[in-house]
């Protein structure tokens, strides 16, 4: 992992992009972009959902353009090699060779994991195994990385039993394991708890100190501003330079929450509740006491894997408590952490109407709910074709159409851009205004502070 910082002058990755157009699309998604990535630098590229960040990340990682499908005009330089793309010549890229120089952590970190290995340790070693690295060396490198990232306890776990945050951490570790010169990280801190964020930040500093260059793709620059070598905003398909001073200005309105009436009706009461998954020997949650009143927004905080999602699923009726009592007044609606799990239909309109009888009055509310969440223009679009933020809002619309008395949100800000987050805040306020309650689990402390009346820490 040791690289010489004296190589500062040499660009590890250079992009001179005239235009990039997806197959079957008339308009270029990206155009006129020049970017150079040098050893040990941190390049932060911000942009709202759908601005083309993930596309840019995939181009830098050699995953786009797809041979014979998409069209890229421009040049990409990786190490000593320069590759020219034009409408008449589109060389086929060896993705595995490219990944030795530039590695990409996708927005959905789970996609980076192979899904065919039985333990986290094997998942970390996957690239090394395919490269034929001797077993002793793999053990040594895994032990070193696990020590640095505090992953020791996870090494023997099955990768499919990890929480969302743990999965991201493991994917990042697996990416770093093959030691590419440039790491492109798409929303690397999304869904991570404070400890994991600190670990990832420490790891990023360590990688930079060793000469690895990082390109971070984020919705808002936030905490990255202070350490970034270069700050860019991606909008209207091209990069615009932005200054640190501009970003460090305090922004956003202070929290304005209506206080909860002391005599407000109790909507949810959980008393000494214990929750376990079928087949598991240990309960995930023990002795839980929770009470939520009408007009109240409760935040659930805690480390990755502490049982926040399990509690939300129990309130939604997906898991039955193995002991204790859970009393609820009215219906609960749950927004799941992964939007893909919640979308089944071929258009947004059909998606929000899914499960509602044709003669039900709720059908008439569909256009209203879509308008409230700013989705009316996507009514006939396939949910899978939407930008991540809009897709998250569609999943929220499928919950809101039923007007739940208790709105349950699992990591709701994940994948949401600023406009989407504003819509989410409006939705929460509307639920509280009509005498409902909101329970949300999030690692986004800023959002939690803005919307939650109180926070319950899960241990």
Residues that bind other proteins (CB under 8 A): 61-63, 95-96, 98-99, 103-104, 106, 108, 111-112, 114-118, 121-122, 125-135, 138-139, 142, 160, 174, 178, 313, 316-318, 333-334, 336, 338, 340-344, 354-355, 384, 398-399, 402
DSSP symbol at 323: E
Count of C-beta atoms within a 10 Å radius of residue 282: 7
Min CB(350)–other proteins separation in Å: 12
Closer to other proteins by Cβ: residue 169 or 448: 169
Closer to other proteins by Cβ: residue 23 or 131: 131
Would you say the C-alpha torsion 149, 152, 155, 159 has a positive or negative sign?
A: negative
Closer to other proteins by Cβ: residue 382 or 446: 382
> What is the DSSP annotation of 172-194?
HHHHHHT--SEEEEESTTTT--H
Min CB(161)–other proteins separation in Å: 11
Count of C-beta atoms within a 10 Å radius of residue 110: 16
Is the distance from CB of 418 to CB of 374 less than 8 angstroms?
A: no
Is the distance from CB of 112 to CB of 188 less than 8 angstroms?
A: no
Nearest to 336 by CA among 284, 382, 395: 395
Closer to other proteins by Cβ: residue 172 or 399: 399
Closer to other proteins by Cβ: residue 222 or 317: 317
Nearest to 170 by CA among 144, 190, 151: 151
Min CB(171)–other proteins separation in Å: 9
Question: Each residue of 224-262: b (16+ CB within 10 Å) or e?
Answer: bbeebebbbbbeebbbeebeeeebeeeeeeeeebeebee
Closer to other proteins by Cβ: residue 111 or 258: 111
Is the distance from CB of 19 to CB of 236 less than 8 angstroms?
A: no
Min CB(93)–other proteins separation in Å: 10
Closer to other proteins by Cβ: residue 13 or 301: 13
Distance CA 76, CA 84 (A): 7
Min CB(160)–other proteins separation in Å: 7
Min CB(229)–other proteins separation in Å: 25
């Amino acid at each position: 992992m040791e690289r010489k910082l004296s190589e500062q002058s040499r660009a590890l990755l250079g992009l001179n992009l005239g235009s990039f157009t997806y197959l079957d699309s008339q308009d270029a998604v990206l155009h006129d972009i020049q970017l150079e990535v040098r050893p040990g630098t941190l390049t932060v590229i911000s942009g709202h959902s759908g601005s083309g960040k993930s596309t840019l990340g995939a181009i830098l990682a050699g995953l786009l353009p797809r041979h014979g499908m998409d069209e890229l005009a421009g040049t990409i330089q990786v190490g000593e090699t320069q590759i020219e793309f034009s409408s008449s010549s589109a060389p086929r890229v060896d993705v595995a060779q490219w990944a030795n120089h530039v590695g990409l952590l996708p927005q959905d970190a789970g996609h980076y994991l192979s899904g065919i290995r039985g333990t986290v340790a094997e998942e970390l070693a996957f690239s090394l195994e395919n490269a034929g690295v001797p077993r002793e060396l793999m053990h040594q490198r895994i032990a070193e990385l696990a020590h640095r990232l505090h992953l020791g306890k996870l090494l023997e776990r099955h990768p499919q039993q990890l929480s969302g945050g743990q999965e991201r951490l493991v994917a990042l570790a697996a990416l770093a394991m093959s030691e590419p010169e440039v790491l492109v990280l798409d929303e690397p801190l999304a869904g991570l708890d404070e400890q994991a964020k600190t670990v990832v930040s420490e790891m990023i500093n360590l990688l930079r100190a060793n000469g690895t260059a990082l390109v971070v793709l984020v919705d808002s620059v936030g905490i990255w501003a202070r350490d970034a070598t270069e700050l860019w905003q991606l909008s209207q398909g091209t990069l615009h330079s932005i200054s640190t001073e501009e970003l460090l200005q305090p922004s956003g309105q202070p929290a304005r929450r209506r206080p909860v009436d002391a005599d407000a009706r109790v909507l949810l009461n959980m008393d000494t509740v214990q929750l376990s998954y079928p087949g598991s020997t240990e309960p995930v949650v023990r002795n839980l006491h929770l009470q939520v009143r009408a007009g109240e927004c409760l935040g659930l905080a805690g480390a990755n894997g502490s049982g926040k999602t399990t509690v939300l699923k129990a309130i939604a009726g997906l898991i039955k408590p193995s002991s204790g009592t859970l009393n609820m007044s009215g219906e609960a609606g749950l927004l799941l952490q992964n939007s893909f799990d919640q979308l089944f239909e071929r258009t947004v309109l059909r998606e929000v109407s899914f499960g509602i009888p044709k003669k039900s009055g709720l059908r008439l509310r569909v256009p209203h709910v879509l308008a409230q969440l700013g989705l009316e223009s996507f009514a006939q679009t396939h949910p899978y074709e939407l930008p991540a933020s809009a897709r998250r809002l569609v999943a929220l619309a499928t919950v809101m159409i039923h007007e739940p008395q208790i709105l349950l949100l699992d990591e709701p800000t994940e994948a949401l851009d600023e406009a989407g987050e504003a819509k989410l805040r409006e939705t929460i306020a509307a639920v509280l205004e009509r005498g409902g309650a909101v329970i949300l689990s999030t690692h986004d402390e800023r959002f939690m502070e803005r919307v939650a009346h109180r926070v319950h820490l899960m241990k």
